[in-house]
Amino acid sequence: MTPREAYEFAKEHGPSEETREIVCKDLEWLHEYAYYIDGPHEKTREAACRDPRYAYAYAYHVDKCPHEDTRNAAYKDPEHAWLYALNVDKCPSDDSRKIACNDPSSAYYYALEVDKCPRDDTREAACKDSEYAYYYAKDVDKCPRDDTREAVYQSPEYACQYALDVEKKPNDYIREIVCKDSYWTYEYVKNVDRRPGEDIKKVLCTNPEYAYFYARYVDKCPSEETRVSVCKSPEYAYFYARDVDRCPRDDTRENACRHPKFAYLYLKEVDKCSREDTKEAICKSPEYACKYAFEVDECPTMETWLAVKGSKYEEEYRRMFKEWVKE
């Protein structure tokens, strides 16, 4: 009889020494057996204590009270030590706290959920990891401190989050830390520190999207560095011309024309007139050639016809310009 079969048999006929012994070979079925059929029993409790997770689950779901055996077993793992203190003992203790402090995550949750207040030992343990140092400062201390600040400085991500949620103001040293990573530099300057500067610009100009953001919302004016960066992307070359330069330029147009969609949008929203170079770029796409014919030329031309011919847009083009195509 397998543990599952023993469980099903006991479910129908009631618990027995035989089925109890069989389910004790499998911790999952043991837990189900004890919880739904048998209730607390020394044999199943002893078996559950082979694993901290099942020892905690047994105490919480089956015994519904603390027991020395389950406590000792749960304490072999920091996560289940703090869960045992929270949900079974329902109070803090030096022993459970000491175990929880072997893991930054468990130390943070112990302080937040069990102690419900900051302590030097839980803070010190949380500060071994930048993420939990940030969470400890935000949720437990609820204020900045030198030790949590120093811990988050190891990570651009949590340095940025710390400045936003704990410091709640720009910090020159955090600015220096986040400048090691373009994404978190972007997040920092967008959400915390909108001061322009060569340090921020240099990092963000490694990415066309961030260069565009910086020019539009921080510098609030065009510059050679940001324009050169955005011109690596047809999409952001178009956005830059539309929102930052606010006028057409040969360099942004040329780079927008590397993609038919952005060539079309550049023509419609920046140039606002037809040009041979943008038309040539647009006609590399049947979809945008069709749009161009309908919305810009408002008449058929050989260039747009050749672009749509043989594509799914040919029929639409034929309907719009029926007489011309027939000729």
Tens of pLDDT along 180-205?
888 899 889 888 888 888 888 999 99
Q: Average the pLDDT over each of 22-31, 84-93, 237-246 and give the range with the smallest value.
A: 22-31
Number of domains in the chain: 1
What is the band of 324 on the pLDDT scale with cuts at 50, 70, 90?
low
Running DSSP on this structure, what letter comes out for residue 2? -
* Beta carbons within 8 Å of 112's beta carbon, 6+ residues apart: 139, 140
Residue 137 lies in a domain: no
pLDDT, residue 319, reads 85
**Whole-angstrom Cα distance, residue 139 to residue 159?**
16
Residue 212 lies in a domain: no
CA distances from 52 to 42, 56, 161 (A): 16, 6, 34
Q: Which residues of 248-261 are buried (b: 16+ CB within 10 A; e: fewer)?
A: bbeebbbbbbbbbb
pLDDT, residue 10, reads 86
Question: What is the pLDDT of the chain when averaged over all its residues?
Answer: 93
pLDDT, residue 298, reads 86
SS (H, E, C) 216-267: HHHHCCCCHHHHHHHCCCHHHHHHHHHHHHCCCCHHHHHHHCCCHHHHHHHH
Q: How many CA atoms lie within 13 A of 237 on its CB side?
A: 23
- pLDDT tens profile 108-124: 999 999 999 999 999 99
Residue 20 lies in a domain: yes
- pLDDT tens profile 294-303: 899 888 889 9
Share of the chain above pLDDT 70, in %: 98
Residue 36 lies in a domain: yes
Q: What is the pTM of this model?
A: 0.75
Q: Average the pLDDT over each of 42-56, 94-108, 177-191 and give the range with the smallest value.
A: 177-191
What is the band of 323 on the pLDDT scale with cuts at 50, 70, 90?
low
Residue 24 lies in a domain: yes
pLDDT, residue 257, reads 96
Q: Does residue 211 have a pLDDT over 70? A: yes
* Beta carbons within 8 Å of 54's beta carbon, 6+ residues apart: 27, 30, 31, 48
Q: Does residue 327 have a pLDDT over 70? A: no
pLDDT, residue 325, reads 54
pLDDT, residue 274, reads 87
Residue type, 316: E
Residue 4 lies in a domain: yes
Q: Are 80 and 74 in contact (CB under 8 A)?
A: yes
- pLDDT tens profile 240-260: 999 999 999 999 999 999 999
What is the band of 175 on the pLDDT scale with cuts at 50, 70, 90?
confident
Q: Does residue 141 have a pLDDT over 90? A: yes
pLDDT, residue 286, reads 95
C-beta atoms surrounding 225 within 10 Å: 17
Residue 242 lies in a domain: no
Residue 128 lies in a domain: no
Q: Does residue 262 have a pLDDT over 90? A: yes
Q: Which domain holds residue 49?
A: 1-74
What is the band of 7 on the pLDDT scale with cuts at 50, 70, 90?
confident
Residue 307: helix, strand or coil by DSSP?
helix
What is the band of 326 on the pLDDT scale with cuts at 50, 70, 90?
low
